[in-house]
Amino acid sequence: MNTKITKILRLAVSYFIIAIMAVIIIYPLVWVFGASLTPGTSLSNFSIIPKNPTWEHYKELFNPDESLYITWYWNTLKVTIITMIASVLTISLMAFAFSRYRFVGRKNGLVTFLILQMIPNFAALIAIFVLANVTGLINTHLGLILLYMGGAIPMNTWLLKGYLDTIPKELDESARMDGAGHFRIYWQIIMPLAKPMLAVVAIFSFITPFTDFILAKVLLRQPEQYTLAVGLYELVSRQYGSEFTLFAAGSILIAVPISILFLSLQKYFVSGLTAGGIKG
């Protein structure tokens, strides 16, 4: 009887903690969504459930005569998607090399990655700006993509390399005996088994450029080149910084692509290494 009561208490405590965390996570989202439906530009009379909700702010965002929000959205999607694809390919190749091969400078390379991932991007803003200016990458999306790729490599290479180390090397040896080359082993054997970690790398490589402000603000100069973070900042700064309701509407729409990507890759988070080995 005591065991049953203990289980019930543990279950109740668990649900209570989950409920608290859910409120902490959901409340800011509801607050911002309510702000996006509030008439006017000020939040002085704001309530989570607006008295006279309106969709005017969303209409203004998608009106080319009112703002460049659609252009900023397209710029952001272009930068993030290219960054994600290029980062996953680059990081997977590097992690595969560090995990499967022994070569001169391997340990020093891993230590260098470990040191680099401890240094935030904004610590090198001056050097980044000078380098971008010398190479003609100021006010270009290519410059942003290269920076985001470079920033994603150290940490994600370590993550993926650690995951690849858990995949038995006997699979590689068996494939070589069947005549498979290095690239075929990488593409057809190792990468399918590494889908859970590749999904994590893909999401990290997508979220960072999608929400970054500092690097985009340093490199981009023209409004037509802005990403969402910089564009929304400029939007809320106009008219003495009073466009908070419009800013809230733009912020809500930022979560849509990230949510879609997470839901589409969610199944790979729970797929196991053993199941992947059996399917192979």
One-letter identity of residue 222: Q
Kindly give, in sequence order, each residue whose CB lies less than 8 Å from that of residue 32, ignoring residues fewer than 6 positions away. Answer: 248, 251, 252
Q: Say if CB 271 and CB 195 are below 8 A apart.
A: yes
**Which CATH architecture best describes the domain 66-279?**
Orthogonal Bundle (1.10)
Q: How far is CA 144 from the centre of its chain?
A: 14
Place of tokens 């729970």: 270
One-letter identity of residue 219: L
Place of tokens 């009106």: 63
- pLDDT at residue number 241: 55
- Rounded Cα distance between 80 and 71, Å, is 14
- pLDDT at residue number 44: 65
Q: What is the pTM of this model?
A: 0.84
Positive or negative, the CA dihedral 117, 119, 121, 126 is negative
Q: With left for phi above 0 and alpha for psi between -120 and 50, is residue 40 left, alpha or beta?
A: left
Q: Where are the domains of the chain?
A: 2-56, 66-279
Length of the chain: 280
Per-residue pLDDT of the chain (280 residues; tens, 9 = 90+): 578 888 888 888 999 999 999 889 888 888 888 888 888 776 666 667 777 888 888 888 888 877 889 999 999 999 999 999 999 999 999 999 999 998 888 889 888 888 877 777 777 888 888 999 999 999 999 999 999 998 889 889 988 998 899 888 888 888 888 888 889 999 999 998 898 889 889 988 999 889 899 899 999 999 999 999 998 888 777 655 567 788 888 888 888 888 888 888 877 765 533 333 333 3
